[in-house]
Structure formats: structure tokens, C-alpha cells
């Protein structure tokens, strides 16, 4: 099976419709698991599903189409979305001589398979398919630029490079030689274990400041297929939509969440004011991420 960008291509095809009940990650995994697409092709289809309202995957023949259709609807609800009560809406179509014949279209819920016409699909989406942005390019200008906050010197990660080396030098060289007046001579030379404990105690507050700097500084660009976060390290951090399942709105930054992982300080987007924060939250929700209050 192959992803296709041409709606009018002759032959059999599956149509995967956008859904307010399924996360980007769910659709991406479904396309790989049920249809055998590689991650890049699956990502291209998910971008189209979300921004165009539907994505198309070509199939070899009607039997392959029916089998793939059944595998997709059999996946059921999205476990990472609290409002998901069924499968994706899937269509099986044949395009011949410029005419499109819809063989079947619908979704499976706990009550069974629900056949859907186009009007029912749009009712499920809450909008008309014509309302979607049908620009075929996933590249291009960002949907949103978040200027964020520059790091003050005392919260910038790079200043740790100037503090940690001399700190370790003191602990590893000066302390064993007994050159620090606050080390009682009766204790003798510190053991390796005690040095490691001292190093950990000295480094702990520095890493706390490092984490605070990571969370509350930086900027971001939100694209159709990815988010680029800058100001956290040497190179920008790029995260694809299919890697994310939600976000948390903290007091002065927005935390992006990966599936089954602890919140990463690097995956935060700080905002300057309420207007920038509102624009970011609105864009994340429009791109299919759900709000997670951490409950």
C-alpha cells in the first residue's frame, strides 16, 4: 500500500478522515500497524488527514482494500483520548473514468459498525470538509511563531559549563589533599564514596537551576508537521506531531507530552504574555493535541 496525494488517481483507495476523537499519535501508529506504511509515509498521510480533512492510501485491489478497511476499524477507540468512543472514520472507494464509487464508509463503535454518508462525516467532524486548509505542502511558513523568553544569565544552561568543572576540581583534587579548612583532619582523606556523595550534593542545586532554565526559556515555531523549539541547547529541538499526545498549561510555559513518558524539561514552550499563550494553546488544540491537567 502506498500513500498518494492525487485524489483523482485511478484504482482502489482507502480514505482516512480527520477525527476529533483521535490523537495524531494514534493515527500515525494505525497507519503503520494496519496498513504497513513506513513512518515517513504515515506521517505524510497524517498531515493530510489533519489539515486537509482526509488522507488517501492506494490499495492494490478490492480484497486488499476490504481487509485493510477492517483492520483499521477494528483498532477501536483511542486509549489516549478520553472522549474516543470508536474507530476512525474510514472510506473504501474506487476511482474509474473520473468517477468515484464509494463502496463503504463509516466507523466502528461498541454498538457495531455505523455506515456514514458525507453529511454524517461532516457532522462528526463538526465542520465541512471544504473548510479545511487544502494546501498540499506540509512545508512552508510556520502556523505560529512563539517568541517566548530569553534566558537571564543566572538561568541559562550554558553558565553551568563554567561552574561544574572547577567544582569537580575542588572535590577531586583539593579535598583529598586536605587543603580545605572546613574538612577536619581527624576525618582523614575522603573515600571515593564520600567524594561521589559530595559531587552529587554540589551538582544537585545546579541541575535544579538548569531544569528551571530549560522550562521557562526558549522560543518555538509550530509547523504543519512538526514543532521546532529553540534556545534549549546547541541545536534546535524538533518534535513531530505523531510523537505527542497532549500538553499541560503551566503558569509561565506550556509542557508538551510524549506518550508513556515523564514530562521533558526540553519540551516546553514559554510564553511572554496571555495573548501569546492563548494563540499557542489554540494552535495545539487545532493540531489535535488534547489538554492534560495532570489529574
**pLDDT digit string, tens, across residues 193-221:** 666 666 666 666 666 666 666 778 889 99
**Dihedral angle over CA of 51, 57, 63, 68, nearest 10:** -60
**How far is Cα 213 from Cα 253, in angstroms, rounded to an integer?**
11
Burial class (CB in 10 A: 0-12, 13-18, 19+), 266: middle
The answer to whether residues 15 and 90 touch, using CB atoms and an 8 Å cutoff, is: yes
Q: What is the pLDDT of residue 259?
A: 77
What pLDDT does residue 94 have?
Answer: 93
Do the beta carbons of residue 155 and residue 213 sit within 8 Å? Answer: yes
Task: DSSP letter for 159, please.
Answer: G
Match domain 2-125 to its CATH number in 1.20.1090.10, 3.30.1390.10, 3.30.1370.30, 3.50.50.60: 3.30.1390.10
Contact 45, 15 (CB under 8 A): no
Contact present, 155 and 212 (Cβ < 8 Å): yes
Q: What is the pLDDT of residues 250-293, one digit of tens each?
A: 878 999 998 777 888 889 999 989 999 999 998 898 787 888 87
Cα(229)–Cα(146) distance, integer angstroms: 9
Q: Pick from 41-50, 61-70, 128-137 the range whose average pLDDT is largest.
A: 61-70
Position 187 confidence tier, pLDDT thresholds 50, 70, 90: very low
pLDDT for res 5: 43
The string of pLDDT tens digits covering residues 81-140 is: 888 999 999 999 999 888 899 999 999 999 999 999 999 999 999 888 887 765 545 556
Distance CA 54, CA 153 (A): 47
Alpha helices in the chain (DSSP H): 24-35, 39-52, 62-74, 118-125, 160-169, 192-216, 274-286
Determine if residue 168 is left, alpha or beta; phi over 0 gives left, psi from -120 to 50 gives alpha, anything else beta: alpha
Please give the pLDDT value at position 119.
Answer: 94
**Nearest to 80, CA basis, from 146, 27, 12, 39:** 27
129-175 per-position pLDDT tens digit: 887 765 545 556 788 999 988 766 555 556 666 666 676 666 666 65
Residue 177: predicted pLDDT: 57
pLDDT at 1: 55
**201 is written with which cell numbers?**
550534593
Asked if residue 186 has pLDDT above 50, the reply is no
CATH class of the domain at 144-150+217-291: mainly beta
> What number of H helices and E strands is found in the chain?
7, 14
**Is the Cα torsion angle 206, 158, 145, 130 positive or negative in sign?**
negative
Whether 181 has a pLDDT exceeding 60, the answer reads no
CA dihedral 16, 66, 21, 139 (to 10 degrees): -20
Domain ranges of the chain: 2-125, 144-150+217-291, 156-215
pLDDT above 90 covers a percentage of the chain that reads 38
- State residue 231's pLDDT score: 81
Contact 286, 279 (CB under 8 A): no
Decide: helix, strand or coil at residue 172. Answer: helix
pLDDT band at 31 (very low <50, low <70, confident <90, very high): very high
Amino acid at each position: 500500500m502506498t500513500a498518494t496525494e492525487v485524489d483523482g488517481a485511478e484504482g482502489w483507495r482507502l480514505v482516512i478522515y480527520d477525527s476529533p476523537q483521535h490523537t495524531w499519535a494514534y493515527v500515525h501508529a494505525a497507519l503503520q500497524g494496519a496498513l504497513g506504511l513506513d513512518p515517513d509515509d504515515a506521517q505524510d498521510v497524517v498531515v493530510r488527514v489533519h489539515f486537509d480533512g482526509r488522507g488517501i492510501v492506494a490499495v492494490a485491489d478490492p480484497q486488499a482494500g476490504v481487509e485493510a478497511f477492517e483492520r483499521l476499524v477494528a483498532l477501536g477507540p483511542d486509549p489516549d483520548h478520553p472522549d474516543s468512543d470508536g474507530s476512525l472514520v474510514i472510506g473504501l472507494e474506487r476511482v474509474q473514468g473520473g468517477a468515484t464509487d464509494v463502496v463503504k464508509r463509516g466507523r466502528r463503535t461498541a454498538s457495531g459498525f455505523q455506515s456514514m454518508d458525507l453529511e454524517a462525516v461532516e457532522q462528526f467532524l463538526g465542520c465541512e470538509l471544504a473548510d479545511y486548509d487544502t494546501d498540499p505542502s506540509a512545508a512552508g511558513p510556520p502556523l505560529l511563531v512563539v517568541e517566548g523568553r530569553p534566558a537571564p544569565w543566572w538561568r541559562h544552561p550554558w553558565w553551568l559549563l563554567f561552574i561544574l568543572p572547577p567544582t569537580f576540581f575542588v572535590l577531586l583534587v583539593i579535598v583529598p589533599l586536605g587543603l580545605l579548612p572546613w574538612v577536619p583532619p581527624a576525618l582523614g582523606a575522603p573515600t571515593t564514596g564520600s567524594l561521589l556523595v559530595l559531587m552529587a550534593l554540589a551538582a544537585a542545586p545546579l541541575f535544579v537551576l538548569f531544569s528551571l532554565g530549560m522550562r521557562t526559556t526558549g522560543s518555538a515555531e509550530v509547523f504543519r508537521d512538526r514543532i521546532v523549539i529553540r534556545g534549549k541547547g546547541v541545536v534546535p529541538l524538533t518534535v513531530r506531531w505523531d510523537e505527542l499526545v497532549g500538553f499541560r498549561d503551566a503558569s509561565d510555559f506550556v509542557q508538551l507530552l510524549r506518550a508513556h513518558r515523564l514530562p521533558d524539561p526540553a519540551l516546553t514552550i514559554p510564553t511572554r504574555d496571555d495573548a501569546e499563550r492563548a494563540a499557542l494553546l489554540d494552535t495545539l488544540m487545532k493540531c489535535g493535541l488534547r489538554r492534560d491537567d495532570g489529574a
